[in-house]
Amino acid sequence: MARAIKLDLILKSREAILSAVQIFNNPLMEFKTESFIVLSMIGWMYLLHAYYKSKGMNYRYFELRGVRRTYLRNADGSFRFWDLSECLNNEGCPLDKDTVNNLSFLIGLRNQIEHQKPSDLDSYLSARYQACTLNFNYYIKKLFGEKYSLDNLLALSLQFAELDYDQAQIIKDKSNLIPPNVNAYIASFDSKLTPDEQNSERFAYRLLFTKVTAKRAGQADRVIEFLNPNSELAKTIDKEYWVTSDREKPKFSPTQVVETIQDAGFLRFKISDHTDIWKEYDAKNPSSGYGVMVVKTWYWYQNWIDFVLEKLKDKPDAAQ
Q: Which residues, 6 or more positions from 202, have their beta carbon under 8 angstroms from its beta carbon?
A: 96, 98, 99, 101, 102, 131, 135
**Which DSSP string corresponds to 1-40?**
-HHHHHHHHHHHHHHHHHHHHHHHT-TT-S-HHHHHHHHH
Q: Is the dihedral of CA 215, 217, 25, 88 positive or negative?
A: negative
How far lies 309's CA from each of 34, 192, 312, in Å?
43, 22, 5
Q: What is the pLDDT along the chain (320 residues), one digit of tens a residue?
A: 667 878 899 999 999 999 999 998 888 887 888 899 999 999 999 999 999 999 999 999 888 887 888 889 988 888 999 999 999 999 999 999 999 999 999 999 988 887 666 656 777 788 899 999 999 999 999 999 999 998 877 665 655 555 554 545 544 545 556 777 788 888 888 888 888 898 888 998 876 655 555 555 555 555 556 566 667 766 665 554 544 444 456 788 899 999 999 888 888 899 999 999 999 888 988 778 888 887 678 889 888 998 899 888 876 555 55
**Which DSSP string corresponds to 22-91?**
HHHT-TT-S-HHHHHHHHHHHHHHHHHHHHHHHTT---B-EEEETTEEEE-B-TTSPBPBP-HHHHHHST
For position 287, what pLDDT does the model report? 78
Q: Which residues, 6 or more positions from 217, have their beta carbon under 8 angstroms from its beta carbon?
A: none
| 185 in Cβ contact with 109 (< 8 Å) | yes
| 178 in Cβ contact with 121 (< 8 Å) | yes
| 258 in Cβ contact with 252 (< 8 Å) | no
In the chain, at which residue ranges do the beta strands (DSSP E only) sit?
Answer: 62-65, 68-71, 291-294, 297-300
How far lies 153's CA from each of 129, 135, 204, in Å?
17, 15, 21
Number of other residues whose CB lies within 10 A of the CB of residue 56: 7
For position 222, what pLDDT does the model report? 52
Give the dihedral of Cα atoms 27, 30, 33, 38; nearest 10 deg: -110
